[in-house]
Chains A and B, each alone.
Chain A
């Protein structure tokens, strides 16, 4: 099937990747490849469509870079997120990018876990002499974890409410949607500020009472034990965003379900005695998953932006936790002389959110069979023309 397409180098690469993945699945579950040949071909076609969309590729690259940074960042960072370099070298105070500092071989350095020698501060440092490059790497981890945690819960509340409201209709729909309207009436950011301002003491208490949970979050955020108190603020942001993040999804999914449930196969399933939960799970959800997936991807950037915004406003991450919004907030008082404290974290936020938006847009084109077919059709035509010319 895929032979009729003109292949670029990138296509061959994506083919190899998908083949490899399919072979791996085949090894785990023998016979999988033979059964799902059509599905693998479908994946390849999706990859071709992606390969021909420059914005999509840029978005993918940005997102991959962000995720890799977030995962390995804390391990490759030259310094810890809270190491005050001013203790070793006066030059580290608000040092501009490229400053070289010297760490002497002292007990203090050993205590702080810093090896002696010369270091170049790539992106400069802040007023405590903390290395901005290291803090941005740690900040990527913070953003990713918050975004994932929010996305794992928030949207699904909305999706569930939307499914139920859309499918049952009538009074249940009215009640659930008016409830959603109440949440939509408040500006989400204001509500999130309120919640993240109120929650921290309780979260701190909870984390102290449950050391296992505390340890889990500490290792997720890659934070030191003594900063568990500050981490409670991040956890509150996550919970606050759960509370405000679902209404949009409830509306979206309800709308999709309203049109999906009018399909005759839903009616037929009902008439043949398929239980409601299975109708929702097997016949409605899979048929509306495309737009939900696109919205989720687009929203990933939104969560990162909102979290940074909350931290910038001072209700999210608290020092010394490394967080892009917080770094901008702390650095803004030295702006514009120490521009790097605002510019680099801002750039990171911009690129990450841009990446997620671009990939979400491309995903919409790829997941919608109509637009993808048109992309594939264009590819086929080119090949046929080429053959004619050769003859």
Chain B
């Protein structure tokens, strides 16, 4: 299924700033990565490191005061053909791509459904807006099939239910149904299970895996849950303070983490590959991105920090063909 050399999204040198009253927050600072067709790509990092902002930037969903300063998001609509730069498209052209080709699943299912409409209507709405169906009524019939495909119990009744009548897991199933209703090529799942409890998390992840196989989807998964990463992903990018510090194959990352932050992160959570005796926390706090530390953004918390780290931005070093790291230790 994995086709290593056919990219679907290529993010090049992305910069996103937020112009707040307190100052300019440099939320994303030169992020580049490539997602290949059919794989599950993971963005991992702690809260506020820019995972969601990166995901939203892909289809220009950043609102004022946020602004995409620089960069390219190349979208390969057909494999091997000329890509389109999503950041250069007009709002209307982007609207046609959002939901139809690149779709989102958000974190909190109870907030991402409008309380005023029933599930059937909300599924139909996106299909209607992308011209898949000619009337909302027609959409209700299709909505039943979609709810069946996301394993919603009793879809004929549920289609007429309002969000408050469903449980959290059912809501997330409905949200997944909505986002897959237009048969997108790329699904961006922004912490899809954070708001759910552990057993339901597992069901939802199983569902996502099943749908991914059935529909041949490419998934960009955003999470801070290492267990989920190990379970789902093919390749992982670790983000810290608006930069990707390390990117590797899933096995490679858990076996041989290179960046001090990744190492510390893996020591802080139970590791599915290596056995750790005691979980450790990372000293210090996440930097204020209005005044980010110069050089490597991790150096104030890094135990291997050198003089160089404090002034110069570390280069991207490809350790192997699938493993890159931004750290002066490996130059």
Interface residues of chain A, those whose CB is within 8 Å of chain B, are 169-170, 263-265, 267-276, 278, 282-283, 286-287
B126 and A274 within 8 A (CB): yes
- Chain B residues contacting A276 (CB-CB under 8 Å) are 91
Are A265 and B126 in contact (CB-based, < 8 A)?
A: no
How far is it, in angstroms, between the C-alpha of A267 and the C-alpha of B188 when the chains are bound? 14
Indicate whether A272 sits within 8 Å of B179 (C-beta atoms), given known contacts A169-B64, A170-B64.
yes
Contacts of A272 in B (CB 8 A): 98-99, 103-104, 126, 129, 178-179, 182
Quote the shortest CB–CB distance from B5 to chain A (angstroms). 29
Whether the Cβ atoms of A267 and B106 lie closer than 8 Å is: yes
Q: Is the CB of B113 within 8 A of A271?
A: no
Known: A268-B106, A273-B95. 13 other contacts (CB 8 A): A169-B63, A170-B64, A170-B65, A264-B111, A264-B112, A265-B112, A268-B112, A270-B98, A271-B106, A272-B103, A272-B104, A272-B129, A276-B91
> Bound complex: CA of A274 vs CA of B114, how far in Å?
13
Q: Are B111 and A263 in contact (CB under 8 A)?
A: yes
B267 at the A interface (CB under 8 A): no
- Shortest CB distance B105–A (Å): 9
Q: A169-B63, A169-B64, A264-B108 are in contact. Are A273 and B129 (CB under 8 A)?
A: yes
B113–A265 touching, CB < 8 Å: yes
Interface residues of B in 182-216 (CB under 8 A from A): 182
Given A169-B63, A275-B129: A287 touches B114 (CB 8 Å cut-off): yes
A206 to B131, CA, bound (A): 46
Give bound CA distance, A271 to B129, whole Å. Answer: 12
Which of A267, A278, A286 contacts B61, CB < 8 Å? A267
Closest Cβ of chain B: how far from A350's Cβ, in Å?
39
Interface bracket on B: 20 to 34
B interface secondary structure, majority? loop
B85 lies within 8 A of chain A by Cβ = no
Contact A282 B111 (CB under 8 A): no
- Most chain B CB neighbours (cut-off 10 Å) among A264, A271, A272, A283: A272
Q: Does B87 contact A (CB under 8 A)?
A: no
CA distance A266 to B116 in the complex (A): 12
Q: Which residue in chain B gives the minimum CB-CB distance to A271? A: B104
CB <8 Å contact, B95 and A275: yes
Closest 8 CB pairs of A and B: A273-B99, A272-B99, A264-B111, A273-B98, A170-B64, A271-B104, A268-B112, A265-B114
Interface status of B172 (Cβ within 8 A of chain A): no
Which residue from chain A places its CB closest to the CB of B96 in the assembled complex? A273
Mark contacts of B108-140 with chain A using CB atoms, 8 A cut-off: 1 yes-contact digit, 0 otherwise: 100111111100000001100110000000000
Decide: B104 and A274 in contact? CB cutoff 8 A: no
Residues of B near A268 (CB, < 8 A) are: 104, 106, 112-113, 175, 178
Q: How far is the CA of A270 from the CA of B59 in the complex (A)?
A: 10
**Within B52-81, which residues are at the interface with A (CB < 8 Å)?**
56, 59, 61, 63-65
Q: Chain B residues in contact with chain A, CB under 8 A?
A: 56, 59, 61, 63-65, 91, 95-100, 103-104, 106-108, 111-117, 125-126, 129-130, 175, 178-179, 182
Q: A271 vs B99: C-alpha distance in the bound complex, in angstroms?
A: 6
| A368 CB, min distance to chain B CBs, angstroms | 15
Q: Provided the pairs A265-B112, A265-B114 are in contact, do residues A270 and B61 lie with their beta carbons within 8 angstroms?
A: yes
Point out the residues of chain A lying under 8 angstroms from B126, CB to CB.
272-274
User: Interface SS of chain A: helix, strand, loop or mixed?
Assistant: helix
Task: Report the minimum CB–CB distance from A278 to chain B (whole Å).
Answer: 7
B157 nearest CB across to chain A (Å): 14
CB contact between B99 and one of A267, A274, A278 (< 8 Å): that residue:
A274
A183 → B minimal CB distance (Å): 24
25 A-B interface contacts by CB (under 8 A):
A170-B65, A263-B114, A264-B111, A265-B111, A265-B113, A265-B114, A267-B112, A268-B106, A268-B112, A270-B61, A271-B103, A271-B104, A272-B99, A272-B103, A272-B129, A272-B179, A273-B95, A273-B99, A273-B126, A273-B130, A276-B91, A282-B114, A286-B116, A287-B114, A287-B116
The residue in chain B whose Cβ has the minimal distance to the Cβ of A289 is B116
Query: Cα distance A379–B213 when bound, in Å?
Result: 54
In angstroms, how far is the closest chain B Cβ from the Cβ of A387?
29
Q: How far does the Cβ of A13 sit from chain B's closest Cβ, in whole Å?
A: 30
In the complex, A269→B61 CA distance in Å?
A: 11
Chain A residue at smallest Cβ distance from B121: A282
Best-surrounded residue of B103, B108, B129 (most CB of chain A within 10 A): B129
Query: Which residues from chain A contact B61 at a C-beta distance below 8 Å?
Result: 267, 270-271
Cα A286 to Cα B114 in complex, Å, equals 10
Contact of B59 among A265, A271, A287 (CB under 8 A): A271
| Set of chain A residues within 8 Å of B178, measured between Cβ atoms | 268, 272
A274 to B65, CA, bound (A): 22
Q: CA of A273 to CA of B100 in the docked complex: distance in angstroms?
A: 7
Complex Cα spacing A264 to B108, Å:
8
Point out the residue from B65, B97, B106 that lies within 8 Å of A264, measured CB to CB.
Answer: B106
Chain A residues near B112 (CB-CB < 8 A): 264-265, 267-268
Beta-carbon nearest neighbor of A263 in chain B: B111
| Bound form: Cα–Cα A275–B96 in Å | 9
* Given the contacts A169-B64, A264-B111, A273 and B97 also touching, CB distance less than 8 Å: yes
Query: What distance in Å separates the Cβ of A40 from its nearest Cβ neighbour in chain B?
Result: 16
Q: Which residues of A contact B99 (CB under 8 A)?
A: 271-274
Q: How far is the CA of A255 from the CA of B190 in the complex (A)?
A: 28
Q: Given contacts A169-B64, A267-B106, are A274 and B111 in contact (CB under 8 A)?
A: no
Residues on B with beta carbons closer than 8 Å to the beta carbon of A287: 114-116
Chain B residues in 8 Å Cβ range of A170: 64-65
By the criterion CB–CB under 8 Å, are B114 and A283 in contact?
yes
A200, B63: Cα distance in complex, Å: 46
Nearest A residue to B184, CB-CB: A272
Question: What's the least CB distance linking A34 to chain B, in Å?
Answer: 12
Q: How far is the CB of A211 from chain B (nearest CB, A)?
A: 44
CA distance A295 to B260 in the complex (A): 58
Q: A368 to B41, alpha carbons, bound, how many Å?
A: 45
